[in-house]
């Protein structure tokens, strides 16, 4: 197995776990009325504490300023802005706006001369964005609509920028500090930053939760924190040992596919024909980009 294929596989696996985690998160929101800010805090704090307890890495000492930007504006920023976009619009709108990070990352790498542009790179962008649009909305036959209120647009663009930021900063930070220190400390810092946003809602949520639902909620939160956060982000960030941020961000478009499949299996929310077409377009975008990257990525 070549390093490029292994790197793409890691990124795809991480994105797939994000999608599955999103479905489990929806179950917590819809089935147990958990506030999204509470889940953001819990998932980041639990992931950070577990990683620090197991690996016990030193605080990243190299490029400390960039690491703090990665942890705050990047890792924490992408989660809070994405969920704020959902709050001011809906999930399809938030997904579409966040996945603008893919052309942002690719455009940055083209400008920096890390990849060479051409018809294939343009085709992969178009396929990925069209696929994400169709998978999210099922246009024209699906009921989901795109809601672009001013605050939804603002937070959606911010979620794309922060996603691009942590993708681009991941590779140099890991080369200098290693994977474990970057991931563990970033989650802990992000979790601490999230507490002011979640404290009041969390204090209102937990006292009203029934004893019978507590074990289920605890298990679902642990799944989101460990599998959908610690493992998923770890795999995605590790992939950039082997591939470029552009390749990793394109592989990340696998997330809505997994979210759609798991939503059908777990929540009984099934896809329309246009949404299946959207998933196919995303897969084609990944295939086109990987074929293109063999001779054009630096």
Each residue's pLDDT tens digit, 146-204: 667 788 889 888 988 998 998 888 888 888 888 889 999 999 999 999 999 899 999 98
Strand partners, 292: none
- Would you say 279 and 135 are in contact if contact means Cβ atoms under 8 Å apart? yes
Model confidence band, residue 53 (pLDDT cutoffs 50, 70, 90): very high
**Residue 295 has what pLDDT?**
47
Q: Give the pLDDT mean for 270-285.
A: 76
DSSP string, 160-215: HHHHHHHHHHHHHHHHHH-HHHHHHHHHHHHHHHHHHHHHHHHHHHGGGS-TTTHH
pLDDT of residue 298: 46
Structure tokens given for 277: 């077409």
Higher pLDDT, 145 or 191: 191
Name the residue ranges covered by the structural domains of the chain.
3-296
Q: Is the dihedral of CA 259, 265, 270, 271 positive or negative?
A: positive
CA nearest to 188, candidates 35, 68, 29? 68
The string of pLDDT tens digits covering residues 206-229 is 888 887 888 999 999 999 999 988
pLDDT of residue 222: 94
pLDDT-derived band at 96, boundaries 50, 70, 90 = confident
Based on the number of CB atoms within 10 Å of its own CB, is 221 exposed (0-12), middle (13-18) or buried (19 or more)? buried
pLDDT grade for 91, boundaries at 50, 70 and 90: low
Burial 240-272 (b: 16+ CB within 10 A, else e): bebbbbbbbbbbbbbbbbbbbbbbeeeeeeebb
What average pLDDT is seen over the chain? 81
pLDDT at 158: 93
- How much is the average pLDDT of 5-17? 86
Q: How far apart are CA 231 and CA 237, in angstroms?
A: 10
> Which of 267, 257, 261, 275 has the alpha carbon at shortest distance from 29?
267
């Amino acid at each position: 197995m070549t390093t490029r294929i292994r790197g793409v596989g890691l990124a795809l696996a991480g994105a797939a776990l994000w999608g599955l985690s999103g479905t489990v998160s929806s179950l917590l929101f819809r089935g147990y009325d958990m506030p999204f800010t509470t889940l953001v805090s819990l998932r980041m704090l639990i992931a950070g504490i577990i990683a620090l307890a197991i690996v016990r890495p030193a605080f990243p000492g190299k490029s400390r300023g960039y690491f703090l930007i990665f942890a705050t504006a990047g890792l924490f920023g992408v989660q809070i802005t994405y969920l704020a976009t959902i709050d001011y619009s809906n999930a399809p709108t938030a997904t579409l706006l966040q996945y603008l990070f893919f052309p942002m990352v690719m455009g940055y790498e083209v400008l920096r001369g890390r990849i060479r542009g051409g018809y294939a790179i343009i085709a992969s962008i178009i396929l990925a964005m069209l696929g994400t649009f169709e998978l999210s909305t099922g246009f024209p036959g699906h009921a989901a609509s795109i809601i672009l209120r001013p605050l939804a647009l603002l937070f959606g663009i911010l979620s794309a920028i922060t996603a691009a930021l942590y993708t681009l900063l991941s590779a140099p930070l890991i080369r200098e500090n290693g994977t474990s220190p970057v991931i563990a400390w970033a989650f802990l810092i992000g979790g601490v930053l999230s507490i002011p946003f979640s404290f009041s809602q969390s204090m209102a949520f937990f006292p009203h939760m029934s004893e019978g639902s507590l074990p289920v909620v605890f298990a679902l939160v642990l799944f989101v924190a460990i599998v959908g956060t610690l493992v998923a982000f770890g795999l995605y960030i590790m992939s950039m040992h082997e591939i470029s941020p552009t390749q990793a961000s394109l592989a990340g478009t696998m997330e809505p596919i997994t979210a759609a499949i798991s939503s059908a299996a777990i929540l009984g929310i099934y896809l329309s024909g246009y949404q299946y077409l959207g998933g196919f377009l995303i897969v084609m975008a990944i295939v086109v980009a990987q074929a293109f990257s063999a001779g054009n990525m630096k």
